[in-house]
Amino acid sequence: MNTGVTAADAMSISPVTISSLKSILECAKIMTKKRVGSLLIVKEDQLEGIITEKDLVHFLAKGLNPEATKIKEVMIKKVHTISPEQDLSEAISIMKREKVRRLPVLNNKKLIGMLTLNDIIKLQPALFDLLREQSNIRLQTKKGKSVEGTCEVCENFGKLYEVDDQYICAECHREKTIRSSDEE
Separation between Cα atoms, residue 134 and residue 79, nearest integer Å? 21
- Whether 1 is covered by a domain: the verdict is no
Q: Which residues contact 79 (CB under 8 A, 6 or more apart)?
A: 47, 49, 50, 104
Mean pLDDT on 124-148 = 53
Separation between Cα atoms, residue 46 and residue 12, nearest integer Å? 17
Cα atoms found within 13 Å of the Cα of residue 9, Cβ hemisphere only:
15
Which range has the worst mean pLDDT, 6-20, 46-60, 88-102, 129-143?
A: 129-143
- Whether 46 is covered by a domain: the verdict is yes
125 and 141 in a single domain? The answer is no
58 and 122 in a single domain? The answer is yes
Residue 136 — pLDDT band, cuts 50, 70, 90?
very low
- Whether 58 is covered by a domain: the verdict is yes
Going by their DSSP bridges, the two strands 166-169 and 157-163 should be labelled as antiparallel
Separation between Cα atoms, residue 72 and residue 41, nearest integer Å? 8
Give the CATH number of the domain where residue 50 resides. Answer: 3.10.580.10
Predicted pLDDT of residue 155 = 76
Looking at the structure of the chain, the number of domains it has is 2
Separation between Cα atoms, residue 184 and residue 169, nearest integer Å? 23
93 and 173 in a single domain? The answer is no
- Whether 75 is covered by a domain: the verdict is yes
> 35-44, 87-96, 127-136, 175-184 — which one is most confidently predicted on average?
35-44
Residue 170's domain comprises: 136-183
Q: Is the pLDDT of residue 29 over 60?
A: yes
Q: Is the pLDDT of residue 183 over 70?
A: no
In the chain, % of residues over pLDDT 70: 82
Q: Is the pLDDT of residue 137 over 50?
A: no
Residue 74 — pLDDT band, cuts 50, 70, 90?
very high
Say how many C-beta atoms besides its own lie within 10 A of residue 178's C-beta. 10
Element (H, E) at 167: strand 166-169
- Whether 2 is covered by a domain: the verdict is no
| 48-63 pLDDT per residue, tens | 999 999 999 989 899 9
Best CA proximity match to 137, nearest among 152, 125, 123: 152
